[in-house]
């Protein structure tokens, strides 16, 4: 008779978890609820032996009584009964970085969901992991439960990737989707997102694009073999997007989405986060609510599309535990797909050289001659207008000019808008959003 495949394996992988927020508690809970199934897949019992968090008395919905507790998270790296450290503290520096360095310095594998730490210190930590001969895995740091890190580093390893783009922040996608679906303005939907827990009390990290920028820096490193460099990601968020923009985009056959983009452009690498008009036929246009999605384009595979829950306790814990299973199996790969010494310094590509169509929205005084002034500024910079819409102004809504340009250099559009912003009749900074998907 064959052995029961779900009998607990004799070998154990002992886990120390630092950070017991919603994700850390979910990781402990998942490992305790599913020991036989996960053990069969990992070839080892995945056992949490020690934890660390700031508050010992907070109720977390999991039984922590059998576990050792360390007030200093770095002490997990020194424990003889911890084989692998899971860092779920968060933050680019401070205790999270101290623990990461301590774990790798002690020769212990590290699993982290910390995109900020990796976006700022990823190359250093990758070199430390290689020097110690241990894995550093971070599937949960990008797009939650979607296995895009493994997909890029392993599944797409044979391909020459030329572009990675994606919806990488569920908060912003929830807001834009709700504005589109329900006809409500930004501030109202943001307040709802905060009530539902999709947005923090201070939502700046999400709505200003910083969270997505951390993630696209990591995807760029995986796709193009460069050092992750958050400082080189040109970043803007969704604060300036109005309901009028959503409506006009819809009328033109587009959806507004906050996208992270990394692509080869000439001899350099373009890394951006900004709101974009996405053609309805493009797969990213249909990504609704708090979901995330990533598109990988390369040769010879063509296009790969990943979609799923990008945040939340369950999806993120799923990704953390998947990394633990991979470590238990003995899977090894360079942290960013190539040896740390081969990670190239990213040479920024000039975004002004990028060619395409653009959506422009101006808020202007409702008086004669304004359109002529705007048209003259566009003409002087060689920007050609394909279509123009002027929604009717009301007492509670200022005059708007909405334009779509013909394909042209983005630098010319930026220069024209710089001049237009200085016109006395222009009441707010102009909004420019590139258009994606016309080539489909």
Distances (CA, A) of 333 to 84, 160, 233: 16, 18, 26
- 421: domain CATH number is 3.30.70.260
HSE toward the beta carbon, residue 49, CA cutoff 13 A: 17
Region 359-370 average pLDDT: 91
217, 361: one domain: no
What are the pLDDT digits (tens) for 100-145?
Answer: 999 999 999 999 999 999 999 999 999 999 999 999 999 999 998 8
Which tops the pLDDT comparison, 164 or 350? 164
Exposure letters 386-422 (e unless 16+ CB within 10 A, then b):
eeeeeeeeeeeeebbbbbbbeebbbebbbbbbebbee
φ, ψ of residue 360 in degrees (nearest 5):
-125, 140
In a domain, 90, yes or no: no
**pLDDT the model gives residue 398:** 73
Which tops the pLDDT comparison, 297 or 399? 297
Structure-token pair, residue 404: 């779509």
Region 376-405 average pLDDT: 85
Which tops the pLDDT comparison, 390 or 161? 161
* Residue 439 pLDDT greater than 70, yes or no: no
Taking the alpha carbons at both ends of the chain, their separation in whole angstroms is 56
174, 299: one domain: yes
**pLDDT the model gives residue 368:** 87
Region 410-423 average pLDDT: 95
**pLDDT the model gives residue 397:** 65
385, 250: one domain: no
Number of domains in the chain: 2
- 220: domain CATH number is 3.30.360.10
410, 266: one domain: no
**pLDDT the model gives residue 287:** 95
* Residue 154 pLDDT greater than 50, yes or no: yes
Confidence at 393, pLDDT banded by 50, 70, 90: low
What are the pLDDT digits (tens) for 4-57?
Answer: 555 567 689 999 999 999 999 999 999 999 899 999 999 999 999 999 998 887
* Residue 392 pLDDT greater than 80, yes or no: no
* Residue 2 pLDDT greater than 50, yes or no: no
In a domain, 67, yes or no: no
- Residue 71 near residue 89, CB atoms below 8 Å: no
Confidence at 327, pLDDT banded by 50, 70, 90: very high
169, 281: one domain: yes
In a domain, 140, yes or no: no
Q: Which domain holds residue 250?
A: 157-309
- Residue 134 near residue 104, CB atoms below 8 Å: yes
300, 356: one domain: no
What are the pLDDT digits (tens) for 242-266?
Answer: 999 999 999 999 999 999 999 998 8
Chain-centre distance of CA 323, in angstroms? 18
Percent share of the chain, pLDDT over 90: 78
- Residue 165 near residue 296, CB atoms below 8 Å: no
In a domain, 373, yes or no: yes
Task: Return all residues near 382 (Cβ < 8 A) that are at least 6 apart.
Answer: 408, 412
304, 163: one domain: yes
**pLDDT the model gives residue 396:** 61
Structure-token pair, residue 133: 């001969």
- Residue 180 near residue 250, CB atoms below 8 Å: yes
**Which positions are annotated as active-site residues?**
215
Candidate from 95-104, 244-253, 344-353, 380-389 with smallest mean pLDDT: 344-353
Mean pLDDT of the residues in the chain: 92
Region 392-421 average pLDDT: 87
């Amino acid at each position: 008779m064959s052995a029961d495949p779900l009998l607990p394996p004799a070998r154990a992988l002992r886990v120390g978890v630092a950070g017991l927020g919603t994700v850390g508690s979910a990781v402990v809970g998942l490992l305790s609820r599913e020991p036989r199934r996960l053990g069969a897949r990992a070839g080892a019992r995945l056992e949490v032996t020690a934890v660390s968090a700031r508050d010992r008395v907070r109720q977390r919905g999991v039984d922590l009584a059998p576990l050792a507790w360390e007030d200093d998270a770095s002490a997990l790296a020194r424990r003889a009964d911890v084989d692998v450290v899971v860092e779920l503290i968060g933050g680019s520096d401070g205790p999270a970085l101290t623990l990461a360095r301590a774990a790798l310095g002690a020769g212990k594998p590290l699993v982290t969901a910390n995109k900020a730490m990796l976006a700022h210190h990823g190359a250093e930590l990758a070199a430390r992991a290689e020097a110690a001969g241990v894995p550093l895995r971070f599937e949960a740091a990008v797009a939650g439960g979607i296995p895009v890190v493994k997909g890029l580093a392993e599944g797409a390893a044979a391909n020459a990737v030329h572009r990675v783009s994606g919806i990488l922040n569920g908060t912003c996608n929830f807001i834009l989707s709700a504005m589109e679906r329900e006809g409500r303005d930004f501030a109202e939907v943001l307040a709802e997102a905060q009530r539902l827990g999709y947005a923090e009390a201070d939502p700046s990290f999400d709505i200003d694009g910083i969270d997505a920028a951390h993630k696209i820096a990591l995807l760029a490193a995986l796709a193009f073999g460069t050092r992750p460099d958050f400082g080189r990601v040109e970043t803007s968020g969704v604060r300036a997007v109005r309901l009028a923009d959503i409506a006009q985009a819809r009328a033109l056959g587009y959806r507004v989405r906050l996208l992270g983009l990394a692509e080869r452009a000439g001899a350099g690498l373009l890394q951006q986060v900004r709101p974009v008009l996405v053609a309805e036929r493009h797969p990213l246009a249909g990504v609704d609510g708090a979901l995330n999605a990533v598109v990988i384009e390369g040769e010879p595979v063509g296009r790969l599309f990943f979609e799923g829950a990008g945040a939340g306790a369950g999806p993120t814990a799923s990704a953390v535990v998947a990394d633990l299973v991979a470590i238990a199996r003995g899977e090894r790969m360079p942290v960013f797909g190539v040896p740390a010494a081969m990670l190239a310094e990213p040479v920024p590509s000039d975004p002004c050289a990028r060619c395409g169509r653009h959506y422009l929205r101006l808020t202007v005084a409702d008086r004669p001659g304004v359109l002529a002034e705007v048209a003259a500024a566009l003409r002087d910079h060689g920007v050609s207008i394909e279509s123009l819409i002027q929604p009717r102004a009301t007492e509670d809504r200022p005059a708007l000019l909405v334009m779509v340009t013909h394909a042209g250099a983005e630098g010319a559009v930026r220069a024209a808008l710089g001049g237009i912003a200085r016109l006395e009749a222009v009441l707010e900074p102009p909004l420019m959003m590139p258009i994606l998907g016309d080539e489909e």
